[in-house]
Structure 1
Amino acid sequence: MNYTFRGNAMATKNRDYVRDLPYNEGGRAYMATQIEFDKALEYLLQRLREDGLADRTLIVINADHYPYGLEKEDYDQLAGKTLEENFEIYRNSLIMYVDGMEPMEVDKVCFTLDILPTIYNLMDIPYDSRLLMGSDVFSEREPLAFFVNRSWITEEGRYNAVTKKFTPAEGSSLEDQDAYIERITQIVRNKLKFSTQVLDYDYYERILPDSIWDIVNEDSGYPPSRE
């Protein structure tokens, strides 16, 4: 993504809104593109309210990656500090909203894999939790976020798989730190391994009953081969 005012139509369109922000051009252009997202969300909510659907529609917002097109200096300016690149640069928020809902803030560690089971529980949709890698963020299950290089974060701390360094969280009182690191690292290995196998062997196609696929095919208009 090109975060400038010379090759990004969304940034150029909203340039005046960010003209006085104390950032480099990259940071200001990035913020300008987010204003376009704000406008789109405003329009969506307006239409949902006009049609009487806003209190029956769950809106889920989450970033699937950090803005790759920015320079490190731009990230640091936007964050207001020097970002650590193995963990902090990936940190973002998950927002779930329904008109009229009672606000609730969850400050524990969560991960993209946790979004779907959280939605299922919020929408009271039955599902088999054994078939998903993540867990409902409102559950009591031990939270875990992990990265492609096998580093991970839990409530007890963060482990950098590159440097082999574990940094305990404030208030952590692990009795056997080495055993804990090995246990969580093995969980991460398994999740990465089985996630790959789910794709390689088309796992869900094999285990879901024909009745489910009939519904999927009817909704999508694209019946996959069942051979």
Structure 2
Amino acid sequence: EALPLLFISWAIIFGVAVFMAPCVPDQLPSHWNAQGQVNSYTSKPLAVFLFLGLIIAFYILLVFLPRLDPFRKNYQQFAKAYSWLRLILVAFFVAFYIIFLLAASGHLSNIQKAIIPLISVLFIGMGFLMPKIKRNYFVGIKTPWTLHSDEVWAKTHKLAGWCFIAAGALCFFTLWAGDWAFVLFMIIILLAVLSPVVYSYLEYKKLGLFKN
């Protein structure tokens, strides 16, 4: 089960916050441009503790969203995958939080070289889970065509799984693309996300469902 690992993630993030907070300056970076250079700042209390609150709120939202979903019964069919998805997303934000504090305290000069691998791992992890997700309104590739058909949903998410895994693997190599790294990274991510959307429409049309 993912629950023990989730508790470990919470322990890590609170430990990092307590340990790193005294080490960071009063003004922390809050935004970076495409070259990884800081172009906006915010106060330490807001950056350190608000981010913690947002992560907790996000996790609580993920826990309660299934109760609001008209397809709530479908969550029982991918309960383990959904549990792992919550863990992956929380772990992603924990890692992002650590990277943020390291950059703010001067221990990380180029945040781009840390963020790209992090997002790559996120996409690979989500790619393995995509085919296991059943039809719902909150998680996955949600288009009018996937939401209308279990068959279109299943085929689309099988493709999405491969697209996400491939995108995650390819994104690692953009680290050696120099000034083109961010552009190539964004192109790969956009293709990985948009390809299943287009496919869902084509598959829906192929099945003749527009006639119904």
TM bracket (short chain): 0.3 to 0.5
Query: TM-score if structure 2 supplies the norm length?
Result: 0.37
Structure with larger Rg: 1
Q: Which has the higher helix share?
A: 2
* Higher RCO (CA-CA < 8 Å; seq separation 6+): 2
